[in-house]
Amino acid sequence: MIEFTKIHGNGNDFIVIDEVDREIVQDSNKADFAVKYCDRRFGIGGDGVIYVSRPDNADLKMRLFQPDASEAEMCGNGIRCLVKYGFDSGYISLGTSTVDTMTGVLKVSTRRDDTFWVKVDMGMPLEKREQIPAEGDPEDDFIDITMHDHRVSVVNTGVPHAVVFVDNLDIDLMEVAPKIRFDAVFPKGANVNFVKVESDSEITVRTYERGVEGETLSCGTGSVAAAYVAHKKGMTGNKVQVRTKGGELNIVIDSDTTYMEGPAETVYNGVILK
């Protein structure tokens, strides 16, 4: 019998497994478990499975396995869901705490009104090819290239992201995005974000996520990437509201870091009977 909690951040939904006291799903089975139970018809349904534990170097630890069996380095909406679970379980209190991810330990802060809000210190996006990673001249400071008939800007905000600015978001995402996502320039692949600038403080984003291999209702790291590139190109100010199909995120770009704030909501608790 495996207990789980379903939590979403702006419609980006996850199956959360508590491994604070003991290992519930063996490491060798975690990837296959995600493939099976993320299925929306024959499983629970989700954009990934988050395993929660308590490391020595942080308050919580997040591991995220995706529907294609890959393990993601980080996930902006996922980390908010993990923090919501940690708070509900009494592992952390309102205020400041830390989460260990594959990309390092991230600081988070929480507040609550009618909604449970999580603000994540995402650090500065990485721009060099070797940091993304992306093939090409390692001395490139910022990648802004034409790829598959689109101008593509590339940064790493915990995972690789390609950012494409468009005038109209009514596009065939499943036709266009995979060509960029699977391009040989990205040895580990890349998430692909199509972005429409609404004003100097608002953008709308649609994201094709690597690992999910489809469009998600929201992507936290993608929202940070889109807002950062828009600001870098002078299209917006440093405070950007990002609209996604699942809701809104608030992004702040400071001189030495970026912040993402958004909601997390518990959907239900359940039990898998083996």
Query: Binding-site residues, please?
Result: 12, 66, 76-77, 191, 209-210, 220-221
CA distances from 15 to 9, 11, 58, 200, 205 (A): 12, 13, 22, 36, 24
What are 88's two structure tokens? 């509900």
| Nearest C-alpha neighbor of 60 from the set 26, 24, 28, 16 | 16
Integer Rg of the chain from CA: 18
Contact between residue 197 and residue 235 where contact means Cβ atoms under 8 Å apart:
yes
The CA distance from 153 to 143, in Å, is 6
Catalytic residue among 74, 75, 82, 197: 75
Residue 81 bears catalytic tag = no
Catalytic residue among 155, 219, 225, 227: 219
What are 139's two structure tokens? 């001395």
For the residues of 88-155, what is the DSSP string, one character each?
A: HTTSS-SEEEEEEETTEEEEEEEEESSSEEEEEE--PPB-SGGGTT-SS-TT-SSEEEEETTEEEEEE
The residues carrying an active-site annotation are: 75, 219
